[in-house]
Amino acid sequence: MVNETQHTCSASSSSKSDGGSSSGGESSKDSSRCSTPVLDADRHERLREKMRRRQDSGDKWFSLEFFPPRTANAAVNLISRFDRMGAGGPLFIDVTWHPAGDPGSDKETSSMIIANTAVNYCGLETILHMTCCNQTKDDITGHLQKAKRLGLKNIMALRGDPTGEEWEEEVDGFNYAVDLVKHIRNEFDDYFDICVAGYPTGHPEAESYEADLRHLKEKVFAGADFIITQLFFRSETFLKFMKDCQAIGITCPIIPGIFPIQGYHSLRQLVKLSKLEVPQEIKDVIEPIKDNDAAIRNYGVELAVTMCRELLGSGLVHGLHFYTLNREVATTEVLKRLGIWKEDPRRPLPWAVSAHPKRRVEDVRPIFWASRPKSYIYRTQEWDDFPNGRWGNSSSPAFGELKDYYLFYLKSKSPREELLKMWGEELTGEESVFEVFTCYISGEPNKNGHKVTCMPWNDDPLATETNLLKEQLEKVNRRGILTINSQPNINGKPSTDPIVGWGPSGGYVFQKAYLEFFASSEIVTALLKVLKKYELRVNYHIVNVKGQNITNAPDLQPNAVTWGIFPGREIIQPTVVDPVSFLYWKDEAFALWIEQWAKLYEEESPSRMIIQYIHDNYYLVNLVDNDFPLENCLWQVVDDTFELMN
């Protein structure tokens, strides 16, 4: 009777995802999901505790609902959106359950895998929806076990649509959401935080508003931790509902579901599915402008902002849940106008922290994957322990196979034609490659007038921090030092520094200068002679695709290259240059030449052979200047090298 999937309005909506793939960088998220020693309050908190703490502190929050995409390309876009919208600091996101889309499968577009990506790769606290209608107990237990294994800790327990007309209650079956709640608590004890749906105007199929409230109370008393409501159009609707819930003894958090109207058609479809009544005054505004998407969206934003202000102003509401329809603009606009979008998300660590419970203590990573954090997370997902405090020199376990690496969410966001425009339809020699690297750094268009906004090793434009080195990087790339990773030295900047800062305020952050690049064997020969002069000061690792390895690193010790000192804390050293993992990274870095670049061209074509030549003959080099309080000497090392060659 109680049809709860209607609640998940966005899941049944056919709205197209917004196609833009503008990139935003891997900025880390706010404290709502920090799992590092730096920010302890959140370290081992579960979602319901985070909610309670925000309520106690009066810190308003928001959450975002997404539905699984239909295609792998749309999935790549959705994940970029997770990163960008995650930067605004949602307390959590949720991913709807799509019964028609094989939601518990390993498909790249399944609800399960999208939620897995959000938690593990984007570091977002995530709720996975799950419906129980027409499913066996074993199926459901299987899904829940899988969710647990993937690091998901929160379930939205729903009934789902009965299939077929003649649906009847099954004895001992899963007939209602409450059965799923009970099942989760029976089988998984207190492992999951459970959310259930609430209907501010009563469920359309319920006998009455009061009966629906009683159903809700049953779900809560069966073990649900909080409630998210179906959308509504007037704040009074929600506030009355909330009071009615409290009157019958529901005391858990009740989070209003906010639906910013984004277009005429999506609104109509939603209303049809959810059987909600759109108030006449809204219809009156929308009908005359129904063909003007921008106008409708502006109106929808205005309406949502007004309603949210009323809700927050009531003092009864601490968080707002947004039905995004997988779109960014309207929701982001509402959040910014409400002032609860984090404009300057503090980073708990210099890199994005994964939200998998297993990785909670992780606070050290090799620098090599700085621009490919998802690849690092993927390749280390089988680890039982994650380094914290110290990387250690014998503790780095095996990295996942490179072959696993070409998973959809690690692929470039750009299509082949775009890449060819950026990296050259036809290469004429190694110099054409130098030019591509140089244009990526400089931001200038290449000789065909196209800007180079990504590289095989870096799917996003240059990081702000790297911009500090732009001039020197441009100069050396032009001459064949093909840089793929670098950081400037930092001698004690405040942890709140907008570019290089991370961790709690009141601290100081430090870095050793780092430079990583591909270079020809001629350059490497000269470089090695020059490096003799810098012995002790500069540590280097030089390796080619065959694994020939030249280094002056003592033993196989890692070198800490980023660290922070904070009030009342132990020292955090989140980035290291680790000799062992460098050899794993080397495989990946060389493979990217072929897989992402060479394969754009016909086999046997000159362009392909040029890339293949570089792959076969160049060296991958990393340099660390240990004297972080002095001026970075790595540019001098490179200059000396070129001078020696002349």
What residues are labeled active site? Answer: 65
Compose the 502-531 pattern: x for residues touching a copy of itself by CB under 8 A, - for all others: ----x-x-x---------------------
The yes or no reply on residue 568 touching a copy of itself (CB under 8 A) is: yes
Beta bridge partners, 92, equal 63
Tell me the closest approach of the beta carbon of residue 48 to a copy of itself, in angstroms. 20
Nearest to 426 by CA among 560, 563, 606: 606
The yes or no reply on residue 567 touching a copy of itself (CB under 8 A) is: yes
Tell me the closest approach of the beta carbon of residue 348 to a copy of itself, in angstroms. 14
* Binder among 73, 467, 626, 636 for a copy of itself (CB under 8 A): 626
- On whether the CB atoms of residues 293 and 300 are closer than 8 A, the answer is no
Which residue, 164 or 568, has its beta carbon nearer to a copy of itself?
568
* Binder among 197, 228, 500, 560 for a copy of itself (CB under 8 A): 560
The yes or no reply on residue 385 touching a copy of itself (CB under 8 A) is: no
Parallel, antiparallel, or unpaired: how do β-strands 61-66 and 92-95 relate? parallel
- On whether the CB atoms of residues 44 and 360 are closer than 8 A, the answer is yes
Tell me the closest approach of the beta carbon of residue 543 to a copy of itself, in angstroms. 17
Q: Work out whether the CA dihedral 422, 428, 433, 438 comes out positive or negative.
A: negative
Beta bridge partners, 229, equal 198
d(CA 279, CA 283): 7
Which residue, 36 or 453, has its beta carbon nearer to a copy of itself?
36
Which residue, 199 or 508, has its beta carbon nearer to a copy of itself?
508
548 class by beta-carbon count within 10 Å (0-12 exposed, 13-18 middle, 19+ buried):
exposed
d(CA 372, CA 391): 19
The yes or no reply on residue 573 touching a copy of itself (CB under 8 A) is: yes
Amino acid occupying residue 200: P
* Binder among 390, 447, 529, 599 for a copy of itself (CB under 8 A): 390
Which residue, 82 or 514, has its beta carbon nearer to a copy of itself?
514
- On whether the CB atoms of residues 365 and 575 are closer than 8 A, the answer is yes
The yes or no reply on residue 294 touching a copy of itself (CB under 8 A) is: no
CA 578 from chain centre, in angstroms, equals 25
Interface region with a copy of itself, contact rule CB under 8 A, candidates 111-119, 177-185, 196-204, 570-578: 570-578
* Binder among 284, 291, 536, 604 for a copy of itself (CB under 8 A): 536
Compose the 331-370 pattern: x for residues touching a copy of itself by CB under 8 A, - for all others: ----------------------------------------
Interface region with a copy of itself, contact rule CB under 8 A, candidates 106-114, 222-230, 387-395, 482-490: 387-395
Tell me the closest approach of the beta carbon of residue 243 to a copy of itself, in angstroms. 38
The yes or no reply on residue 644 touching a copy of itself (CB under 8 A) is: no
Tell me the closest approach of the beta carbon of residue 568 to a copy of itself, in angstroms. 5
- On whether the CB atoms of residues 188 and 148 are closer than 8 A, the answer is yes
d(CA 618, CA 621): 9
* Binder among 378, 502, 563, 619 for a copy of itself (CB under 8 A): 563
Interface region with a copy of itself, contact rule CB under 8 A, candidates 54-62, 88-96, 409-417, 549-557: 549-557
Tell me the closest approach of the beta carbon of residue 570 to a copy of itself, in angstroms. 5
The yes or no reply on residue 532 touching a copy of itself (CB under 8 A) is: no
Q: Strand, coil or helix: what is 296?
A: helix
* Binder among 388, 477, 581, 632 for a copy of itself (CB under 8 A): 388
Parallel, antiparallel, or unpaired: how do β-strands 549-551 and 538-544 relate? antiparallel
Per DSSP, the residues of 540-582 read EEEEETT--EEE--STT--EEEEEEE-TTS--EEEEEE-HHHH
Tell me the closest approach of the beta carbon of residue 201 to a copy of itself, in angstroms. 45
Show the CA angle centred on residue 644, arms to residues 642 and 646, nearest 5°: 70
* Binder among 278, 282, 329, 553 for a copy of itself (CB under 8 A): 553
Q: Under rule CB under 8 A, which residues in 477-506 are in contact with a copy of itself?
A: 491-492, 506
Number of residues that bind a copy of itself (CB under 8 A): 37
* Binder among 371, 539, 632, 641 for a copy of itself (CB under 8 A): 539
Long-range contacts of 358-361 (CB under 8 A, 24+ apart): 358/151, 358/384, 358/386, 359/35, 359/120, 359/151, 359/386, 360/35, 360/43, 360/44, 361/35, 361/36, 361/37, 361/386, 361/388
* Binder among 113, 180, 308, 624 for a copy of itself (CB under 8 A): 624
Tokens of 368: 């090599």
Q: Under rule CB under 8 A, which residues in 21-40 are in contact with a copy of itself?
A: 37, 40
Helices (H), 275-315: 280-286, 293-313
Which residue, 445 or 506, has its beta carbon nearer to a copy of itself?
506
Beta bridge partners, 126, equal 93
d(CA 324, CA 65): 6
The yes or no reply on residue 583 touching a copy of itself (CB under 8 A) is: no
Interface region with a copy of itself, contact rule CB under 8 A, candidates 295-303, 401-409, 435-443, 620-628: 620-628
The yes or no reply on residue 565 touching a copy of itself (CB under 8 A) is: yes
- On whether the CB atoms of residues 265 and 331 are closer than 8 A, the answer is no
Neighbours of 140 (CB within 10 A): 20
Instruction: Name every residue whose Cβ is closer than 8 Å to that of residue 268 and which is 6 or more positions away in sequence.
Output: none
The yes or no reply on residue 576 touching a copy of itself (CB under 8 A) is: yes
- Interacting residues with a copy of itself (CB under 8 A): 37, 40, 388-392, 491-492, 506, 508, 510, 536-537, 539, 552-555, 557-560, 563, 565-571, 573, 576, 624, 626, 628-629
